[in-house]
Amino acid sequence: MIALGSVSNGVQGAVAAPVRGVGGFFAMTLDTFVAAFTTRFAWREFIDQTWFIARVSMVPAVLLAIPFTTFVVFLLNILLLEIGAADLSGSASAVAVIQIGPIVDVLVVAGAGATAICADLGARTIREELDAMRVMGINPIQALVVPRVAAGALVALMLMAIVTLSGLLSSFVVGVYIQGVTPGAYVSSMTLLVGLGTTIVAMIKALLYGITASLIACYKGTTVGGGPQGVGNAVNETVIYAFVALFAINIVMTAIDIKVNPT
């Protein structure tokens, strides 16, 4: 009986820990959105965090966007050249960039921006700075979490624009100067399959990526325990959880895009 009771308690504990974590995350998310619209916005912290996240994310975004998009466009152009439809290579590059751009955004936001946020807040947590703020009557959600979530959303939008621009430029160079596509035909066909609606959906994806990744990073950073090792574990967990959440968002938003913009 004692052994069975120990096993039962162990199973309950293994199930309860993730449930408590999910509940804590959604509770912090609700507190964040309430604080964003009902309390004074920390503009100085927002500007500092926007520059901080952009500094660690911008270069990786460009370095990922160029090879990702050019490789896909290069393969698509080979197929189009074989079937005699080289004039449609511009539309192929536009589709590739608008679909691959959010994936690059996922990798950079989760791998660079979110981990930087988590490490910063985790270090503050183990130094008991958040407890000191609560003692002084300062709400850490309003002072630290809200500006970081807003900064993450803004930077994700900017990264999406940078990834799209760099991907289109690199694809143009590859298609025109390497594969011999006519520049006029390339440019004129870019809007055949990608319009304003698809672009808006892609930007909404980027906004949701930034908000979700920042919320996950803030939750893991503010609930970290176990000293420096705990901070390292929280950073690793942030990457995994952000990847899973952001790819799920990408799938849902892509399905919505197909329904809203079938052409």
For the stretch 209-222, pLDDT in tens is: 888 989 999 999 88
| pLDDT value of residue 150 | 92
User: Could you tell me where the beta strands, DSSP code E, fall in 72-177?
Assistant: none
For the stretch 145-157, pLDDT in tens is: 999 999 988 988 8
Please report, for residues 82, 88, 99, 125, 140, the alpha-carbon distance to residue 73 in angstroms, rounded to integers and kept in the order given.
Answer: 14, 11, 12, 45, 46
| pLDDT value of residue 147 | 93
Q: Do the Cβ atoms of 193 and 95 come closer than 8 Å?
A: yes
| pLDDT value of residue 253 | 81
Q: What's the rounded Cα separation, in Å, for the pair 184 and 87?
A: 9
Q: How confident is the model at residue 159 (pLDDT cuts 50, 70, 90)?
A: confident
Cβ contacts of 228 within 8 Å, gap of 6 or more: 126
Q: Do the Cβ atoms of 54 and 155 come closer than 8 Å?
A: yes
For the stretch 79-108, pLDDT in tens is: 777 777 667 777 777 877 877 777 777 777
Query: How far is C-alpha 141 from the geometric centre of its chain's CA atoms?
Result: 21
Q: How confident is the model at residue 8 (pLDDT cuts 50, 70, 90)?
A: low
Residue 36 tokens read as 């964003």
Residue 257 has pLDDT above 70, yes or no: yes
| pLDDT value of residue 11 | 47
Q: What's the rounded Cα separation, in Å, for the pair 35 and 33?
A: 5
| pLDDT value of residue 83 | 75
Q: What's the rounded Cα separation, in Å, for the pair 215 and 71?
A: 33
Mean pLDDT, rounded, for 10-29? 70
The residue whose two tokens read 């004129």 is: 188
Angular region, 39: left φ>0, alpha ψ -120 to 50, beta rest = beta
Mean pLDDT, rounded, for 32-53? 89
Residue 64 has pLDDT above 90, yes or no: no
Q: Do the Cβ atoms of 147 and 248 come closer than 8 Å?
A: no
* Average pLDDT across the chain, whole number: 81
Percent of the residues in the chain that have a pLDDT greater than 70, as a whole number:
91
Q: What's the rounded Cα separation, in Å, for the pair 218 and 24?
A: 12
Top pLDDT among 140 and 193 is at 140
Top pLDDT among 178 and 217 is at 217
| pLDDT value of residue 46 | 92
Q: What's the rounded Cα separation, in Å, for the pair 238 and 21?
A: 13
